[in-house]
């Protein structure tokens, strides 16, 4: 028994081909819009509103009106002392790779330096910047593990005259009844100076928030000052602070 062959499809009309091409271009434009859209600048209050209520800030720090939302998903709200800062936010969130630097240092002879004797120019002062950063949930666990777990503590005797970076403090910070992890890191600068930074895990539920504070060169960071600053940042709702790094 034989069966009839299906009729061959008619050749697409010029209008049909043009329609398909236009549809493809629209899809392509959408992909480019998603992948290459530049940063947005929504109001800072809008970004904070779902997670925190900002109270009175200490004199010397003010909230920048606009937040920064990157195409990679991070939202950044900035508190500033108003003066220029030579270090970027990116160096706190995405530290420069050190693999090549470590190789270069290993090739050079080790030369001791008395980092314990470096002059501290000021203590218990406000940071130059406090960045409140919201990270996409898909990155939360890996990010918090890398920034708050299994960190490297170096003896000052291991840091030579070329400088380097090391964790110099850490613990729990009381914050509205919760224990928030904090880490203090110091970058030792060639010539005998340093720069302190602190980060605090303020993750709420499935919202991954980290506060990054950076002090000016030669000024010592303080967990007490950090605690006073974060006292102006009350969490919204009654949900418990969830240490996403423990998930």
pLDDT in tens, 19-52: 444 444 444 444 444 444 567 899 999 999 889 9
Please say whether the beta carbons of 51 and 204 come within 8 A.
Answer: yes
Question: Residue 102 above 70 pLDDT?
Answer: no
Please report the pLDDT score of residue 6 as a whole number.
42
Element at 102 (helix H, strand E): helix 99-107
Question: Residue 215 above 90 pLDDT?
Answer: yes
* Mean pLDDT of the 210-223 span: 95
- Of all residues in the chain, the percent with pLDDT exceeding 70 is 72
Please report the pLDDT score of residue 103 as a whole number.
52
118 or 99, greater pLDDT:
118
Please report the pLDDT score of residue 54 as a whole number.
93
Rounded CA separation 77/211 (Å): 10
Please report the pLDDT score of residue 3 as a whole number.
40
Element at 91 (helix H, strand E): helix 89-93
35 or 209, greater pLDDT:
209
Rounded CA separation 147/95 (Å): 11
Please report the pLDDT score of residue 242 as a whole number.
44
Question: Residue 245 above 50 pLDDT?
Answer: no
Question: Residue 1 above 70 pLDDT?
Answer: no
Question: Residue 18 above 50 pLDDT?
Answer: no
DSSP string, 133-167: EEE-HHHHHHHHHHHHSS-----GGGS-TT-EEEE
Give CA separation, 103 vs 99, 107, 108, 110, 240, in Å. Answer: 6, 6, 9, 13, 44
* Mean pLDDT of the 160-178 span: 92
The pLDDT-based confidence of 93 (bands split at 50, 70, 90) is low
State the greatest distance between any 2 C-alpha atoms of the chain, in Å, as a whole number: 99
Please report the pLDDT score of residue 98 as a whole number.
46
Please report the pLDDT score of residue 27 as a whole number.
47
* Nearest to 221, CA basis, from 193, 173, 186: 186
The pLDDT-based confidence of 171 (bands split at 50, 70, 90) is very high
Rounded CA separation 180/178 (Å): 6
Please report the pLDDT score of residue 205 as a whole number.
85
Question: Residue 173 above 90 pLDDT?
Answer: yes
User: CA 200, 80, 192: angle at the middle one, nearest 5?
Assistant: 75
């Amino acid at each position: 028994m034989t069966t009839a062959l299906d009729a061959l499809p008619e050749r697409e009309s010029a209008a049909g081909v043009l329609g398909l091409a236009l549809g493809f271009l629209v899809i392509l434009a959408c992909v480019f819009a998603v992948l290459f859209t530049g940063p947005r600048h929504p109001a800072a209050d809008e970004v904070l509103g779902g997670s925190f209520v900002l109270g009175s800030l200490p004199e010397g720090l003010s909230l920048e009106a606009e937040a920064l939302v990157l195409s990679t998903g991070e939202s950044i709200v900035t508190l500033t002392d108003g003066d220029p800062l030579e270090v970027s936010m990116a160096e706190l969130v995405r530290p420069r790779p050190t693999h090549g630097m470590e190789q270069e240092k290993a090739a050079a002879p080790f030369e001791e330096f008395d980092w314990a004797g470096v002059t501290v120019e000021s203590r218990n002062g406000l940071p130059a910047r406090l960045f409140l950063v919201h990270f996409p949930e898909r990155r939360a666990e890996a990010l918090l593990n890398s920034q708050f777990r299994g960190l490297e503590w170096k003896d000052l005797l291991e840091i030579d005259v070329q400088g380097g970076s090391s964790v110099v403090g850490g613990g729990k910070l009381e914050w509205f009844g919760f224990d928030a992890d904090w880490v203090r890191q110091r970058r030792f600068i060639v010539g005998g100076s340093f720069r302190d930074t602190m980060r605090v895990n303020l993750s709420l539920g499935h919202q991954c928030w980290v506060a990054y504070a950076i002090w000016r060169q030669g000024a010592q960071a303080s967990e007490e000052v950090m605690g006073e600053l974060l006292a102006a940042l009350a969490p919204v709702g009654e949900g418990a602070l969830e240490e996403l790094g423990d998930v």
